[in-house]
């Protein structure tokens, strides 16, 4: 619209300039006609009489007045056109806005409307909080202010009292450190009216006083190393609502005797009970699917006879050095037996490898002198290096048809092993695999790879 206006003004000005130039040329003030010769260029204006000059002046004044009046009329006409066009554009904009509001109201009534905002491509960047739109509903601004205020109020506060350092949240409390000196404590279920839901990492670690601790039922999570190296700690009563027990929670608690793991816990993480030499009584629920690395390392007095039925992973050194461990059966759900998982577990009476375990890890049952019976379910493909070395109680082994490889020194030192049945599919028997055993003959696949030291000295080897 602005361009139309200035276009009309420019047109009127140009027309006025042309008319004025024509008039001045007519009266001889300027000469727009072409000059044909030097004589015409040197023409002298003839003198006129006083009357002619007076008459000419009057004529010129009349013609100028007429030109000015014409220009003013053209300008007025242009302004009128501009005003009419502006009014028309404003009416169209109002009608469009009215239609948009109607559409928004209809959408909101149907539960499928938009946010109630109108975009505006020409919004001043200093207006409306740098947003690219105008908010129709002032409540939206109020909601934003309230949300911002609530977010500031929800910031956690680090606080402490005579016994605990803790973090206070709007709806719960996390205990971060025990400051007291008592030996027998019952951790409160609430602090400042808020439930205690978590014991933070290392909260009771390296305590010189704690002997017995009872945690409230409000606690659902215990962080890493919660009680690590608390040398006098004997017993901990954990809440039934617990769902997460951190790695190293009782690492190096040398005096710990009794612990009961709640049903909600599904994993015994790495080093949870590492080097708890006095740990005797432990309850593991059937919800546990993984026992992590070094989870019960060197728990020499642990008297455990049953593993969780849902257990899938026994990781590296999980029960290494548990000399009293007397587990009678490995769960059928098991898929991994890690390196040295049961190394030195002298009290194990028998080992039956489930079909889901493809590889029996290195040193997995090394030194398990109490094992009298060893069997495999079909599915195992590899018995790794030294997996059963030093198992002096094993007298007979029948491998599954799925077995492909027997590792270096896998059964070395099994001095009671007098009978071995190796399947046709086995294609590799490494050095020292059966060194020190007592059987005198064995049958293997004629393409099977083996070393001279793979079998006992003077053994008779036959082929399928």
Three-state DSSP class for residue 431: coil
Q: What DSSP string runs through 263-288?
A: TT--EE-TTTTTT-TT--EEE--TT-
Same domain? For 233 and 306 the reply is no
Instruction: Please give the C-alpha separations between residue 81 and each of 76, 86, 160, 171, 313, in angstroms, as whole numbers.
Output: 9, 9, 79, 68, 87
274 in the same domain as 293: no
User: Are 416 and 282 in the same domain?
Assistant: no
| Together in a domain, 158 and 80 | no
pLDDT, tens only, 249-283: 999 999 999 888 999 999 999 999 999 999 998 88
pLDDT at 309: 95
Q: Are residues 249 and 356 in the same domain?
A: no
Both 282 and 293 in one domain: the answer is no
277 plus 336 within the same structural domain: no
What is the predicted pLDDT for the residue at 194?
97
Tell whether 370 is covered by a domain: yes
Question: pLDDT value at position 328?
Answer: 87
Buried b (16+ CB within 10 A) or exposed e, 397-420: bebbebbebbbbbbbbbbeebeeb
- For residues 261 and 404, state if they share a domain: no
List, as one string, the DSSP characters of 376-426: E-TT--EE-TTTTTT-TT--EEE--TT--EE-TTTTTT-TT--EEE--TT-
Residues 294 and 252 placed together within one structural domain of the fold: no
The verdict on residue 94 lying in a domain is no
Whether 332 and 352 share a structural domain: yes
Are 256 and 365 within one domain? no
Residue 23 lies in a domain: yes
Which is more confident, 128 or 284?
A: 284
For residue 38, the model assigns a pLDDT of 43
Q: Is residue 125 part of a domain?
A: no
* Residue 246 · residue 269 · CB < 8 Å: yes
Among 245, 261, 286, identify where a domain stops.
Answer: 286
392: phi then psi, degrees, rounded to nearest 5: -75, -10
pLDDT digits (tens, 9 = 90+) for 77-116: 656 655 665 666 667 667 766 666 655 555 554 544 444 4
Would you give the distance in Å from CA 261 to the centre of its chain?
28
Looking at 216, 251, 286, which one is the last position of a domain?
286
Q: What is the tally of structural domains in the chain?
A: 3
Look at residue 47 and tell me if it is in a domain: no
Confirm whether pTM is higher than 0.85.
no
Whether 111 maps to a domain, the answer reads no
What pLDDT, in 10s, does the model give residues 128-157? 555 555 555 666 656 666 665 555 556 899
Strands (E), 215-304: 221-222, 235-237, 244-245, 258-260, 267-268, 281-283, 290-291
Give me the domain span that covers residue 64.
Answer: 1-32+54-86
Last residue of a domain, one of 286, 305, 328: 286
Q: Is residue 304 included in any domain, yes or no?
A: yes
pLDDT in tens, 3-52: 555 566 566 666 566 666 665 566 555 555 555 444 444 444 444 444 55
């Amino acid at each position: 619209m602005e361009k139309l206006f200035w276009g009309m003004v420019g047109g009127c000005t140009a027309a006025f300039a042309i008319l004025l130039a024509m008039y001045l040329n007519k009266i001889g003030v300027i000469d727009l006609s072409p000059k044909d010769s030097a004589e015409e260029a040197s023409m002298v204006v003839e003198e006129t009489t006083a009357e002619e000059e007076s008459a000419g002046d009057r004529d010129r004044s009349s013609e100028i007045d007429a030109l000015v009046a014409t220009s003013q009329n053209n300008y007025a006409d242009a302004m009128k056109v501009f005003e009419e066009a502006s009014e028309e554009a404003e009416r169209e904009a109002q009608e469009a806005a009215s239609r948009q509001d109607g559409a928004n109201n209809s959408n909101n009534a149907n539960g499928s409307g938009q946010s109630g905002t109108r975009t505006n491509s020409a919004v001043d960047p200093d207006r409306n909080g740098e947003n690219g739109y105008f908010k129709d509903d002032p409540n939206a601004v109020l909601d934003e202010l309230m949300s911002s205020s609530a977010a500031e109020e929800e910031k956690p506060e680090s606080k402490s009292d005579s016994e605990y350092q803790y973090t206070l949240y709007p709806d719960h409390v996390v205990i971060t450190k025990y400051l007291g000196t008592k030996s027998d404590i019952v951790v409160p279920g609430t602090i400042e009216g808020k439930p205690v839901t978590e014991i933070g990492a290392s909260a009771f670690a390296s305590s010189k006083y704690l002997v017995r601790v009872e945690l409230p039922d409000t606690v659902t999570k215990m962080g890493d190393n919660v009680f690590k190296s608390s040398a006098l700690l004997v017993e901990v009563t954990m809440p039934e609502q617990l769902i997460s027990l951190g790695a190293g929670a009782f690492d190096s608690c040398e005096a710990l005797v009794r612990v009961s793991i709640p049903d909600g816990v599904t994993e015994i993480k790495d080093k949870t009970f590492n080097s708890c030499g006095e740990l005797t009584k432990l309850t593991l629920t059937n919800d546990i699917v993984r026992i992590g690395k070094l989870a019960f390392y060197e728990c020499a007095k642990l008297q455990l006879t049953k593993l969780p039925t849902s257990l899938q992973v026994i990781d590296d050194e999980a029960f290494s050095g548990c000399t009293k461990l007397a587990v009678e059966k490995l769960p059928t759900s098991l898929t991994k037996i890690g390196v040295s998982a049961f190394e030195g577990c002298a009290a194990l009476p028998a080992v039956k490898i489930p079909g889901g375990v493809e590889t029996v890890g290195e040193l997995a049952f090394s030194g398990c002198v109490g094992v009298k019976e060893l069997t495999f379910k079909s599915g195992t493909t590899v018995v790794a290096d030294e997996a059963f070395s030093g198992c002096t109680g094993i007298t007979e082994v029948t491998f599954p048809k799925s077995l492909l490889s027997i590792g270096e020194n896998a059964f070395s030192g099994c001095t009671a092993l007098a009978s071995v049945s190796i399947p046709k599919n086995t294609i590799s028997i490494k050095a020292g695999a059966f060194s020190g055993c007592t059987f005198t003959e064995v049958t293997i696949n004629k393409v099977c790879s083996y070393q001279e030291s793979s079998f006992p000295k003077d053994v008779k080897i036959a082929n399928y």
